[in-house]
Amino acid sequence: MRIAYQGIPGSNSEAASAIFASNQGFISPEYIPAIHSMGVVELLSCGAADYGVMATQNLVAGPVGETKAALDSLSYRTVDAQWLPVHHCLFTKNPDGSFDTIASHIQALSQCRGNLSKRFPGVTLREVEDTAIAARYLADGRLPENTAVLCRKNAGETFGLHLVAENLEDDPRNMTEFILIKPIQRISKTVIVAGLGLLGGSMAKAVRKYTDCRVLGWNRTRSVAEQALQDGAIDAIAQDTDFADCDLLMPVLYPQATLDFLKEKIPLMKPGSCVVDLVGVKTRLVEEVGALALAHGVRYTGGHPMAGLAKAGYERSFPELYQGASMILVPSVATHPGDIDELRRFFRGLGFGRIKVCSAETHDRMIAHTSQLAHIVSNSYVKSPVSANYSGFAGGSYKDMTRIACLNEQVWKELFIWNKEALLPEIDDLIANMTLLRDAIAAEDADTLEEILRRGREAKERIDAVNPDQPSD
């Protein structure tokens, strides 16, 4: 997750960015200094950043003019807002602390004007782009040595300056409001989402909320589409004639239903339009749909959003389901040059935190292990006759193991069978490892059992070491 902030390292906006990242649960975010508010807007507009952080107003100095001017040129939504205490310290380059000028951001100077005039009468106030930048300029010689700077304490210390005074703000309750924003994509296209369950309903709501696209919905049970229309999740219910004007079609159906649906609808679509299926298996779909799309001049890329809940259904869908989630994109023979970059921007705009691009074979091999096998284990584990009496005997591990046992057997049977080439070896490995454990326990072979358990622990530690951005809790 890339967060652009107003200022440089050591600024108040950087500190606010870290708080926002923690609040949102972002894992290993990348912080991008943008100097000023317009720089943040430029990074958001070109897709170089996913979120922006800016100061909007101060209790003493009032609105931050540069932020208001910059935001006038951006379509955005406010994700979070925080009032943070702001304390200003005075630093000099030389230990003797002599100066006749104080430099800082206009807001910092305004917030300390009374104390500065009382404690340092006659000094000249000089505006610079940011409080931390003032510290950097003094340290590297771009400000004269007879200058002192107002900045956060950590900024002055970072640049090796000498502390003269602390907490110079006129009001000890000095606070500044910072906002975390995300750009709204202004894309005037027609999107059809087919299948309005948890994933499809959430996708329709996300596209509706975060873009300017016209969103049409299609569902096998029409009453669900009617409910989505009534809720404002879609602009209209898709009819067969709408597919000719569709720019992006996203089916979220069972595997066989998706294949049948696309065989029927792709011939109706205009050349150059795009299809991204959101089905959890890829090899067969990418092969068959790719050839079909290519024959009709339609662009096609496989997709798989890595998000969900224990239970499905349109009634549980919500537009924030995909915030921070991973989206897997699988190119096909009908993927055009530039499609992946375009789709990357589109799905990031919906809130996805990571875009993974891989082959269909890699997708199915990894999903067999990370998702399908986990569902098989959970479904098998919960069948123990002991499970029904778990109340009072269970901690987090039982809930973790059984949460996904509430699967939709109709869709998962297809996912398992369609991916049997990748899934069966995973099941065989699991059975082999479970058998080793069982045999060691039955034989009361403590040494072997300890070795087996040690190897499992070390395997998990190695996995965490090579995936530092997604460690175990």
All domains of the chain in start order, with CATH: 2-86+179-183 (3.40.190.10), 89-169 (3.40.190.10), 190-358 (3.40.50.720), 367-442 (1.10.3660.10)
The pLDDT of residue 248 is: 97
pLDDT tens track for 193-230: 999 999 999 999 999 988 889 999 999 999 999 999 99
> Encoding tokens for residue 90?
């005075």
User: Is 70 exceeded by the pLDDT of residue 383?
Assistant: yes
- Residue 355 is predicted with a pLDDT of 93
Per-residue model confidence (pLDDT) at position 240? 92
Q: What is the DSSP letter of 372?
A: I
Half-sphere exposure of 466 (CA within 13 A, CB side): 5
Query: In the prediction, which pLDDT does 187 show?
Result: 60
pLDDT at 470: 65
The per-residue pLDDT for 390 is 87
DSSP structure class, residue 369: I
**Mean pLDDT value of segment 252-258:** 96
Residue 172: which pLDDT band, with cuts at 50, 70 and 90? confident
User: What is each CA distance from 370 to 64, 99, 326, 363, in whole angstroms?
Assistant: 47, 62, 13, 10
pLDDT given for residue 403 in this prediction: 87
What is the mean pLDDT of the segment spanning 161-186?
89
Residue 349's closest CA among 166, 460, 213? 213
Please give the single-letter amino acid code of residue 252.
V
Measured distance CA(381)–CA(359) in Å, rounded: 32
Q: How confident is the model at residue 28 (pLDDT cuts 50, 70, 90)?
A: confident
pLDDT at 186: 63
Quick one: what percent of the chain has pLDDT higher than 70?
98
- List the alpha helices (DSSP H) in 310-445: 339-349, 360-367, 373-381, 396-402, 409-418, 420-442
Q: What is the mean pLDDT of the chain?
A: 92
pLDDT at 153 > cutoff 60: yes
358 residue type, one letter? C
Of 92, 38, 102, 351, whose CA–CA distance to 208 is shortest? Answer: 351
pLDDT in tens, 384-411: 998 888 888 888 888 888 888 888 899 9
Residue from 353, 355, 343, 345 nearest 44 by CA: 345
pLDDT confidence bin for 60, thresholds 50/70/90: confident
CB-CB contact of 238 with 317 (8 Å): no
What's the rounded Cα separation, in Å, for the pair 80 and 51?
11
Tally the residues of the chain. 473
Q: How many CA atoms lie within 13 A of 360 on its CB side?
A: 20
Per-residue confidence (pLDDT) for residue 436, from 0 to 100: 97
Nearest of 240, 288, 248 to residue 264 by alpha carbon: 240
* pLDDT of 400: 86
Mean pLDDT of 272-298: 97
**pLDDT at residue 471 above 70?**
no
Q: Which of 137-141, 279-283, 465-469 has the lowest mean pLDDT?
A: 465-469
Q: Report the alpha-carbon distance of residue 278 to residue 252 in Å, rounded.
A: 5
For residues 275 and 389, what is the distance between their CA atoms, to the nearest angstrom? 47
Closest Cα to residue 77, out of 202, 210, 189?
Answer: 210
pLDDT value, residue 468: 76
249 token code pair: 């079609």
CB 252 within 8 A of CB 302: no
In this predicted structure, the answer to whether residue 188 has a pLDDT above a threshold of 80 is no
Distance CA 72, CA 35 (A): 18
Report the alpha-carbon distance of residue 285 to residue 301 in Å, rounded: 10
CB atoms within 10 A of CB 151: 31
- Banded model confidence at residue 75, pLDDT cuts 50, 70, 90: confident
What value does the mean pLDDT take over residues 454-468? 90
**Is pLDDT of 74 > 90?**
no
Q: Is the pLDDT of residue 92 over 60?
A: yes
Residues 74, 4: Cα–Cα separation, whole Å:
14
pTM for this entry: 0.68
Q: Could you give the 3-state DSSP secondary structure of residue 162?
A: strand
The predicted model gives 287-303 an average pLDDT of 97
Query: Which backbone phi and psi does 52 adopt, to 5 degrees?
Result: -130, 150
pLDDT tops 90 at residue 180: yes
**Measured distance CA(398)–CA(378) in Å, rounded:** 10
How far, in Å, CA of 100 to CA of 147, rounded?
6
Residue type, 448: T
